[in-house]
A and B are shown apart, each in its own frame.
Chain A
Amino acid sequence: MARILSILVGLFFTVALAWSFGLGFYTWATDPAAPTAEHEFHLLPKEVAFASDGAFGKFDKQQLQRGFQVYKEVCSACHSLNHVAFRDLAQLGYSEGQVKAIAAGFQVPGVDPTTGEANLRPGLPTDYFPKPFANDVAARAANNNAVPPDLSLMTKARHEGPAYVYSLLTGFQAQPAQLLKEFPDSKTPNGLHYNPYFANLNLAMAPPLTGDGQVEYGPGNPKPTVDQMSKDVAAFLIWTAEPSLDKRKQTGLAVTLFLLFATVLGYMAYRNIWAGKKH
């Protein structure tokens, strides 16, 4: 009885699935989904290497400082960095005095001590990076109806994040003729910019890094080409997304080595205890 019931219930689900499959297969065979420009022309991020890659990779602090400079001089005009405080910059190798000076270079929201009115004051190391826009409405108004996303976690919030940031910054180009030929309706709308590394190909952000030397690097640094600046700011954003990256890998090495040692000891104890006991 139980088996008959079970087989009936089984038939209920399997027949329903076969029905779904059959109709789905028929639609798929007779009326396949039309290809889209996004599907045909979207590109995966480019291959790019960073000092922090791999199990033993470490941040290149010189590069992080350059990336920070690019963020400060270019990106910060539109993009916030909500989760990073000025004090965190000490990790990039800046001295206490330098951190104070950097913080003081930013105006952060404050309160006038005499009147109690809201005002702006120079930043302190304990302050977080100020937001470039008062709210999303202001951000939209200034950016062709798009809100520039916060960059603190950007490299963890996209697939292959660091390579994605680098590819996006270096990927602006004219819309390929082939695309317009195949998908005449997919012309990049006015005010948007074609970039094959962006999910839907058209991006509200104008190319932010337009020419070599846009940011002036100090002596002893590589030439600030668009490619170099993109790489540097991507490296900086790896750090903002995961400041503990170096410590994490160092801890991992110590923990794994200890565990290997302990496991070998444990295995020998196991062999010793079971010796002579067939199993």
Chain B
Amino acid sequence: MSFPWANEYKPSHPFMQWMDDRLPLPRLVFNSVGAGYPVPRNLNYFWNFGFLAALCLIVQIVTGIVMAMHYAANTAVAFDTIEMTVRDVNWGWMMRYAHANGASMFFIVIYVHIFRGFYYGSYKAPREMVWLLGVVIFLLMMATAFMGYVLPWGQMSFWGAKVITGLFGAIPFVGEPLQQWLLGGFAPDNAALNRFFSLHYLLPFVIVGVVILHIWALHIPGSSNPTGVEVKAESDTVPFYPYYVAKDGWFIGVFAIVFSLMLFYFPNSLGHPDNYIPANPMSTPAHIVPEWYFWPFYAILRAFTQDFFFIPAKLMGVLAMFGAILVWFFLPWLDKSPVRSGSYRPLYKKFFWFGLIPAMAVLFYCGGAAAAEPYVMISQLAALYYFAHFLIVLPIVSAIEKPLPLPYSITESVLGTDEAAQLAPSATV
């Protein structure tokens, strides 16, 4: 499970020896996030976001459990119980804002984490399982966040739920009965609110489970690194403790400062004002938009405005919206380049920085804008590039591209020279 030079766990205290013989939990921790886990020495700050994501998950679970103590999942009182929490519970306002902004922070962190993976080819062999589990976590996060946003039962909660569950209605033949079965009625109401609350409480713990698998799968080959060259020798790595505990540790401080500025000074800037209006099924908001972290996919959903042959536009939109994320599952097999890191892939790098990133930025912007021209046309072009990038550009680029020469090892890339490299026959070029 690890490199031969990994430090071994040696309990010195008799109690810890006793424990190690019976339940080697401290050994597990030592080998996972302690001195027993060798990590490439050259990780940059993009590699801090995995640790931050775990932290975000914990923050959400803790604040969420406290919120749930004061919440009632009933359409008659749900909105009021949250206001009651904010006004009359000690530090209730802080819990509520921490939970709402914590969700946004979680998604910011996770988007950086995912795009780190795109750029550095983190999804490639032997880390396909790490990647696949990561996409599963992202899908679970989206489901959890969507249901969580429904719970305050404000205008956007209700209408967002109506629009999103309405998407299932686009599925041919079974769509409408499926939608009613999911909602427990013809429109979002008490039955839907109750099951959303139940699932919103359940799914985070499912996420914890998949995160454990994600980390387990990561620890088999070990972390990737910015060069994409695999670890070859002890000089390529440092033990996780103390090196990366210190690096992740201080960066948590940076993250916490950003989070607290959001929480204490701009707590409503990422939310929609309409969600401070209690849900009213008789009054449709002028613009129904989901939370910002769904905007790219919402823009893709709305980009399909015309029926395509025999497929209705709405169904195309739904297929594309889910397809836009499902395509990530196939990435390890679409990108056949033997080189992982975008830094050594001149052509891929261009498509990443001048194609994928702008397209994603445009989709973010258009997803939050009104469904009017010119935003729809712009989002259509961006969505077109998005699909072309993963399904057409990536397979072709990875076949024709001539990568730059790679360093022999991580040590060589850091120190400029590696003794082992001079001895290795392949390094004579």
Contact residue among A21, A156, A241, A242 (Cβ-Cβ distance under 8 Å from B384): A21
A269 to B247, CA, bound (A): 9
A244 in contact (CB, < 8 A): yes
Q: Which residue of chain B is the closest to A255 with respect to CB atoms?
A: B260
A55 in contact (CB, < 8 A): yes
Q: How far is the CB of B303 from chain A (nearest CB, A)?
A: 6
Chain B positions within 8 Å of A251 at CB level: 94, 264
Given A161-B273, A263-B253, A277-B238, A252 contacting B261 (CB threshold 8 A): yes
How many interface residues does A have (CB within 8 Å)?
A: 61
Whether B249 pairs with A266 at a CB distance below 8 angstroms is: yes
B206 in contact (CB, < 8 A): no
Chain B positions within 8 Å of A14 at CB level: 384, 387-388, 392
Whether B273 pairs with A10 at a CB distance below 8 angstroms is: no
Chain A positions within 8 Å of B377 at CB level: 21, 24-25, 28
Contact residue among B243, B253, B278 (Cβ-Cβ distance under 8 Å from A277): B243
Chain A positions within 8 Å of B198 at CB level: none
B390 in contact (CB, < 8 A): yes
Given A83-B83, A263-B253, A157 contacting B276 (CB threshold 8 A): yes
Given A6-B392, A14-B384, A19-B306, A278 contacting B249 (CB threshold 8 A): no
Q: How far is the CB of A242 from chain B (nearest CB, A)?
A: 8
Whether B42 pairs with A9 at a CB distance below 8 angstroms is: no
Chain B positions within 8 Å of A266 at CB level: 246, 249-250, 252-253
Given A10-B387, A10-B390, A20-B380, A256 contacting B395 (CB threshold 8 A): no
Whether B305 pairs with A24 at a CB distance below 8 angstroms is: yes
B186 in contact (CB, < 8 A): no
Q: Which residue of chain B is the closest to A19 with respect to CB atoms?
A: B306
Whether B264 pairs with A252 at a CB distance below 8 angstroms is: yes
Chain A positions within 8 Å of B372 at CB level: 33
Cβ < 8 Å to B, chain A residues 88-116: 88
Q: How far is the CB of B104 from chain A (nearest CB, A)?
A: 17
A164 to B399, CA, bound (A): 57
Whether A277 pairs with B41 at a CB distance below 8 angstroms is: yes
A156 to B395, CA, bound (A): 48
Q: Which residue of chain B is the closest to A261 with respect to CB atoms?
A: B253
B108 in contact (CB, < 8 A): no
B323 in contact (CB, < 8 A): yes
Given A24-B373, A55-B265, A259-B256, A274 contacting B243 (CB threshold 8 A): yes
A159 to B272, CA, bound (A): 8
B308 in contact (CB, < 8 A): yes
Whether A153 pairs with B83 at a CB distance below 8 angstroms is: yes
Whether B253 pairs with A259 at a CB distance below 8 angstroms is: yes
Q: How far is the CB of B286 from chain A (nearest CB, A)?
A: 7
Chain B positions within 8 Å of A159 at CB level: 273
Chain B positions within 8 Å of A243 at CB level: 87
Q: How far is the CB of B276 from chain A (nearest CB, A)?
A: 4
Chain A positions within 8 Å of B380 at CB level: 17-18, 20-21, 24
B100 in contact (CB, < 8 A): no
B313 in contact (CB, < 8 A): yes
Q: How far is the CB of B369 from chain A (nearest CB, A)?
A: 14
Cβ < 8 Å to A, chain B residues 205-227: none
Binding site secondary structure of chain B: helix
Q: How far is the CB of B131 from chain A (nearest CB, A)?
A: 16
B391 in contact (CB, < 8 A): yes
Q: Which residue of chain B is the closest to A9 with respect to CB atoms?
A: B391
Whether A13 pairs with B256 at a CB distance below 8 angstroms is: no
Whether B334 pairs with A83 at a CB distance below 8 angstroms is: no
Whether B399 pairs with A3 at a CB distance below 8 angstroms is: yes
Cβ < 8 Å to A, chain B residues 353-398: 372-374, 376-377, 380-381, 383-384, 387-388, 390-392, 395-396
Q: Which residue of chain A is the closest to B241 with respect to CB atoms?
A: A273
B86 in contact (CB, < 8 A): yes
A161 to B242, CA, bound (A): 49
A206 in contact (CB, < 8 A): no
Chain A positions within 8 Å of B289 at CB level: none
Whether A20 pairs with B243 at a CB distance below 8 angstroms is: no
A24 to B373, CA, bound (A): 9
Q: How far is the CB of B9 from chain A (nearest CB, A)?
A: 20
Q: How far is the CB of A132 from chain B (nearest CB, A)?
A: 17
- Chain B proximity mask over A219-243: 1 for CB below 8 Å, otherwise 0: 0000000000000000000000111
Whether B247 pairs with A274 at a CB distance below 8 angstroms is: yes
A263 to B263, CA, bound (A): 18
Q: Which residue of chain A is the closest to B277 with respect to CB atoms?
A: A157
The residue in A13, A82, A157, A270 that gathers the most chain B C-beta atoms within 10 A of its C-beta is: A13
Chain A positions within 8 Å of B80 at CB level: 82-83
Contact residue among B320, B373, B395 (Cβ-Cβ distance under 8 Å from A3): B395
Contact residue among A156, A241, A256 (Cβ-Cβ distance under 8 Å from B264): A256
Cβ < 8 Å to A, chain B residues 267-315: 267-268, 273-274, 276-278, 286, 303-306, 308, 311, 313
- Chain A proximity mask over B332-368: 1 for CB below 8 Å, otherwise 0: 0110100000000000000000000000000000000
B111 in contact (CB, < 8 A): no
B424 in contact (CB, < 8 A): no
Could you jot down 24 A-B contacts, CB within 8 Å?
Answer: A7-B396, A10-B390, A13-B320, A13-B323, A13-B391, A16-B320, A23-B306, A88-B87, A150-B278, A153-B83, A153-B277, A157-B276, A248-B93, A248-B97, A248-B267, A249-B265, A251-B94, A255-B264, A262-B253, A263-B257, A269-B246, A270-B247, A270-B249, A279-B41
9 new A-B contacts, CB < 8 A, other than A249-B264, A267-B253, are A16-B320, A17-B383, A24-B376, A150-B278, A244-B86, A247-B93, A256-B264, A263-B250, A277-B41
Closest 6 A/B residue pairs (Cβ): A252-B264, A10-B391, A263-B253, A266-B250, A157-B276, A21-B380
